[in-house]
Structure 1
């Protein structure tokens, strides 16, 4: 069973196979499709299946083509794709990391050192992408993944290379509200690398506060965390795209505030990353040995029934003791009530054929049938009847 911190279980409508990949879990869903955790003889993969009515074949082919062009280490490596399937799909290597959105939901806003690290590492990846002539155009908390040695960028669905034609219609906004640049929201013709810098600034505001920036971003919450960091991020959010700094300037300025070697992410974030990394190292052939989800224990567990055998033994012991007591009392009563053996000078003996009669002793007695208010009756003693010995 897949650990719930790695992937969600499959539902009845989810596929069991996509292409040559066996699907074992759900990594995420979005407006354009789903991302599944798949396995093959090459290991684990993230398999993205798109909704054909929402994603044109041209857009799908563009995303796949850009992923093949992204520099190594910036994004997950492409493995396979099929644009002719009923629902087109492509597969990338599985990256054992945590998105910024997941990290903030896990622990709350990131501390200052982690924010400097996030800015430096994301800007460095953007610099590599921009150098390759590609603009991501959808940098947001769900598309920046924290990994053990930095960050990786995912979801190049609306990315654009400098040599590619425009796919979006003029006047139509795109991107993610709160993180897309003003020129994207306005549907400008040539939205390129400066839009990623704006989105990077918005990403830092979110990571520092846990809140999506507004149309007019507020830098003050970030300034309350680290004034120098806010001063570096603020120009990234300029409305004029030409006034924004380039990725290389941001990388240089951010790294000047970080120690060497670079610090890790916060401990709770690193712990979750380590858990997913351990899963990624598990051979597919041994997948069944992966621990099941750590479900919360039942706060009111059922009491374990007491085995009936001990109770039966106790009842048996009580029965034996009671029986022994009855036998002992009976034996004692028989001994007391039975006639004594005849002495040599004895002159009386009860008749064996006559019923035994208990005679009243001298003194007052109370009748068993008398009411509580009846007076006691005094009976004079009568001498016992003597019978001749036969």
Structure 2
């Protein structure tokens, strides 16, 4: 079985802000993400840290400070809750609630396309998250399968790294486009002065196509070709199940004004319901619960190992928007409250493994 929680490298930090770090969850465009917890408590968080060379760029800390502020505006049952951050720390960090489960991208790569009913339920949950974000004046701007986590009780939208308030431009100060190519909207590609809530809806249409077919909606090939098809809204929906095709097509209309609102999309998809995950997804989620329980029972972080080999080249839906991380020197974490934590997480593992909890 492939492990879902990665060990901490020898050069990884052992504490960030108030959190002791237990495992490595992965790497983003500008840093690494760790599983953390407050010493003696059972609340687990995903702690995103920033590589030192990026943090030393003159404009970076201001940008990261805005990211922390935007994340703090997010209040939705369908999005990972913000837990704090510090843009002025030696290693800047941002923490959100940990979602024990795979991303949509991981789940589809392992188990294939999702059933129609599950895609409807998944889409309605994400559309509700967008409704909540937009009501708070926040646009996500990087809605892709890697930013949707699947938990026992439904999907959770994560990573507000390039989310901005309404009125933000689609380009960085250096003119670089932000977003993930295969899951951009035509407005992103055109470099328009503004993206809108309708741009997030377009990206959600692409994501629903991916969930229902297991393939990127605008195909593969040279990046320029993919971006051209996105710019013209030329998605191939021939493999999308007929029951979903009209709704997905509505999201992918070239004219933003013709796309449904997130709230309207919830209704088109049949309303909010907890997804009935297929067996492959239930098992995948269960692996996260079991490994978390084993980690806590062990009484400390996963054993440090030598620095890992470079990761394989990402697909179009995984392309980072900023450069990879060299964390600070290690410090030993405290080890308190182990017994209570073990009991709590064993319960999580049982729930995550149980078929009945998804019905």
Shift in Å, 1:183? 0.8
Contact 1:46 1:92 in 2 (8 A): yes
Change (3 A) 1:149 1:52: same
Shift in Å, 1:8? 0.9
Could you say which residue in structure 1 is the equivalent of 2:26? 28
Q: Given the alignment of the two structures, is residue 271 of structure 1 paired with residue 286 of structure 2, yes or no?
A: no
- Counterparts of 1:263 and 1:81, CA distance in 2: 31
Contact 2:205 2:249 in 1 (8 A): yes
Shift in Å, 1:140? 0.1
Higher Cα radius of gyration: 1
User: What SS does structure 1 have at the residue aligned with 2:195?
Assistant: coil
Change (3 A) 1:166 1:113: closer
Change (3 A) 1:135 1:204: same
User: What SS does structure 2 have at the residue aligned with 1:120?
Assistant: helix
1:56-67 equivalences under 5 Å are 56-67=60-71
User: What SS does structure 1 have at the residue aligned with 2:254?
Assistant: coil
1:38-117 equivalences under 5 Å are 38-41=36-39, 42-43=41-42, 44-51=44-51, 53-54=53-54, 56-117=60-121
Q: Given the alignment of the two structures, is residue 228 of structure 1 paired with residue 243 of structure 2, yes or no?
A: yes
Change (3 A) 1:47 1:170: closer
Q: CA RMSD in A?
A: 2.8
Contact 2:127 2:262 in 1 (8 A): yes
Could you say which residue in structure 1 is the equivalent of 2:352? none
* Equivalenced residues, count: 283
Larger relative contact order, structure 1 or 2 (CA cutoff 8 Å, min sep 6): 2
User: What SS does structure 2 have at the residue aligned with 1:245?
Assistant: coil
Shift in Å, 1:143? 0.3
Could you say which residue in structure 2 is the equivalent of 1:244? 259
- Counterparts of 1:114 and 1:183, CA distance in 2: 29
- Residue in structure 2 matching 1:196, options 197, 200, 218: 200
Could you say which residue in structure 2 is the equivalent of 1:313? none
Contact 1:96 1:277 in 2 (8 A): yes
- Counterparts of 2:14 and 2:112, CA distance in 1: 35
Unaligned runs of 5+ in 2: 219-228, 304-359
TM-score norm. by structure 2 comes to 0.71
User: What SS does structure 2 have at the residue aligned with 1:184?
Assistant: helix
1:1-390 equivalences under 5 Å are 5-41=3-39, 42-43=41-42, 44-51=44-51, 53-54=53-54, 56-162=60-166, 168-169=172-173, 172-214=176-218, 215=229, 216-222=234-240, 226-255=241-270, 262-278=274-290, 284=296, 286-288=297-299
Change (3 A) 1:197 1:121: same
Contact 1:130 1:193 in 2 (8 A): yes
- Counterparts of 2:252 and 2:170, CA distance in 1: 24
Contact 1:171 1:186 in 2 (8 A): no
User: What SS does structure 2 have at the residue aligned with 1:80?
Assistant: strand
For 1:16-74, what per-residue CA distance to the aligned partner results, in whole angstroms no more than 9, with x for missing partners?
22223222211011221110112322332211002354461122112111121111423
Change (3 A) 1:27 1:262: closer
